[in-house]
Structure 1
Amino acid sequence: MHLSILLWGITGVLGSSISLREGVLVWWRLLLVSISLGLQILLLKRSFKVTKTQFYKMTAVGVLLMVHWLFFYGAIKYSNVSITLSCFSTTSLFTALIEPVFGYKKLRVSEILFSLLGIVGIVFIFYDGSDYILGIALALMAAFVGSFFNIFNKEIVLELPPDIVSFYEMLTGFVGLTILLPIYLHFFPDSVLLPSTNDWALLAILAFVCTHVALTLSLAALKYLSAFTLNLAVNLEPIYGIALAFILLGENELLGINFYIGSCIVLLSVVAHAWYVSKYEALA
């Protein structure tokens, strides 16, 4: 499981290193992963058949995934990997607050407190990264949209094999972004559509290793993990990503003390929330 989380953590560094704008980057990622998953399903001689209702659900989630990635990579382009991942780690807190709205569970006072603690951390990051206001806003939007993706995806993966679900979500996200691409290019006419040789190599790693392989590993690990281990492992992704950004991109030289204080507060709130949820569910 930790290997898959580490691979996901690399996606931020890769996104920063790829020269393509976020819209084009996400378009290529969705296309390559769709092809990869489609070939896997064909080689395993699996059926692509789904009901209309299931297809409509996956289409909606696929669009959410596409928007989520646009915000995520946009945040990296307009700030940096460390700031993006620190703010993005609030996804689980957003999920805890949004799930009760759709009747999946009751809102707990503890989750409000954890969310408030996370907000305190974001304030510290904001003061240290005031030059990256747009990036911080996009990262928080990525976390917010990502929480909806997690919530709605829960129902679908109970009905269909995970690789089938992922294939349709990637494919419909790709189709949705293809429809929107002319509008995107109108507002960002300087966007380069074809990747450079270096970008092709990084895109291949991003799509096939950090998305397809990471997804396969995480699904295999689900059979053997407790709820707490799973929640904690997923919430370690920002830590892995920030550490890699420090090592590979030297971002530690660009950040001040408030960033470190804020990041520690946010990550503390996320890990504490995962621990509390696992303990609460064990006693329930």
Structure 2
Amino acid sequence: MKAALIRLNIAVFLWGFTGVLGKEISLNPGWLTWWRMLITVVTLWVLFGFQNRIQKISGKDFIRIGFVGFVLALHWLCFYGSIKIANVSIALTCLSTSALASALLEPLFFKRKINSREILLGLLTLLGVGIVYYTNLHFSAGIYIGLLAMVLTVLTSILNKKLVNDYRSDTITIYQLTGGFLCLSVLMPLYEYIFPAQNHIPIKLDWLWLAVLAWVCTILTYFLYVSALRKLMPFTMNLTLTLEPVYGIVLAFILFHENKTLSPYFYIGLLLIMVAVFVQTRSLVKENKTQSGNLSST
């Protein structure tokens, strides 16, 4: 149990570190995302190939899984865009609202009612985002893009829930990232036309940071997360995941001194968001335990 918790915290810390790497890499958001996915996809095909873990699927299934990967690619594109336009702290604060947004959007996909608690927590989150926005107007464009990144990651999560019962996790991972990379590659000429880049190929330390981003913060964290998932309770998993933006923001404060460019009210808004996420996480776990108890008694 202790070893699993350590692995989970390492994975969450590394996910928080992706924002720092995104700021450090000189490429624009589109090419940063493209190179990250290229390195990750090639590595996974080689690694899974040696381990005989590549499961053949139909073209229809590949399109189904690959589309979710395209949504994920767009999420990364917007996430790094928010970092480049604003900063790491703003991007991660917007991303931290995803748990509550998921609670409000999932009923639309799974046809269930939104309860009053979720509405109240959603309003509390909205208040937190509002405080962050109106007291940091110089980062308004980055906040808009960060919130779009949040919506895209929620959509990715919802679509993945429709896949997990039909395919193995490693099958979803490799075909999802492959499909996302192919779709992004098709999109890149249009992206380059709208947002022309000075550099298309990584320079100097960019190669190192991209390798860390792909191998450590993407592939290694996947294995750490999956291994921890087998040992830990859902509440522990979900609660620990809420630390991702906290880790990332602390790192941004230490490495880039972003606290000097943020309004003091930023911390109030972030605190309101984190409280809402914690309460929602706790409530969801209680509901799952109640449902499990009811099922076992029938």
TM-score, length basis structure 2: 0.92
Q: How far did 1:46 drift?
A: 2.1
Root-mean-square deviation over aligned CA pairs: 1.2
Q: Displacement of 1:234 after TM fit?
A: 1.3
CA distance in 1, matches of 2:214, 2:55: 21
Instruction: String of CA shifts for 1:32-83, please: whole Å, max 9, x gaps.
Output: 1101111111010123301344212211101110111111100001100001
List alignment gaps of at least 5 residues for structure 2.
Answer: 1-7, 292-298
Give, in whole Å, the separation in 2 of the partners of 1:36 and 1:77.
27
Asked whether the 8 Å contact 2:62–2:179 carries over to 1, the reply is no
> Are 1:233 and 2:240 counterparts?
yes
* Equivalent position of 2:127 in the other structure: 120
Distance 2:111 2:15 in 1: 27
Equivalent residue, structure 2, for 1:81? 88
Deviations 1:109-133 (A, max 9, x none): 1111111100000011002210011
Aligned to 2:78: 71
Matching of residue 242 in structure 1 with residue 249 in structure 2: yes
1:76 aligned partner, one-letter code: I
Equivalent residue for 1:267, pick from 270, 274, 278: 274
Offset of residue 104 of structure 1 = 5.6
Alpha-carbon separation, structure 2, partners of 1:282 and 1:185: 49
| Distance change in 2, residues 1:104/1:199 (3 Å) | farther
- 2:194 aligned partner, one-letter code: F
CA contact (8 A) 2:20 2:251 kept: yes
Q: Is the 8 A contact 1:118 1:269 kept in 2?
A: yes
Name the structure 1 match of 2:144: 137
Give the TM-score taking structure 1 as reference length: 0.97
**Do 1:24 and 1:191's aligned partners in 2 also have CA atoms closer than 8 Å?**
no
**Superposed displacement of residue 106, structure 1:** 3.3
Match among 19, 24, 36 for residue 12 of structure 1: 19
Which residue of the other structure, out of 209, 216, 221, is the alignment partner of 1:214? Answer: 221
Counterpart for residue 41 of structure 1: 48
SS in 1 for 2:114: coil
**Residue 190 of structure 2 corresponds to residue 183 of structure 1:** yes
Contact 2:28 2:197 in 1 (8 A): no
DSSP-derived class of the 2:108 partner: helix
Kept in 2: contact 1:228–1:275 (CA 8 A): yes
Q: Distance in 2 between matches of 1:239 and 1:256?
A: 17
Which of 94, 106, 116 pairs up with 2:101? 94
Counterpart for residue 114 of structure 2: 107
Matching residue within 137, 160, 163 for 2:167: 160
Moved over 6 A (4+): none
Secondary structure class of the residue paired with 1:156? coil
Quote the Cα distance in structure 1 between the aligned partners of 2:60 and 2:272: 41
| Percent identical | 39
User: Structure 1: which 5+ residue stretches go unaligned?
Assistant: none
Equivalent pair of 2:63/2:179 in contact (CA under 8 Å): no
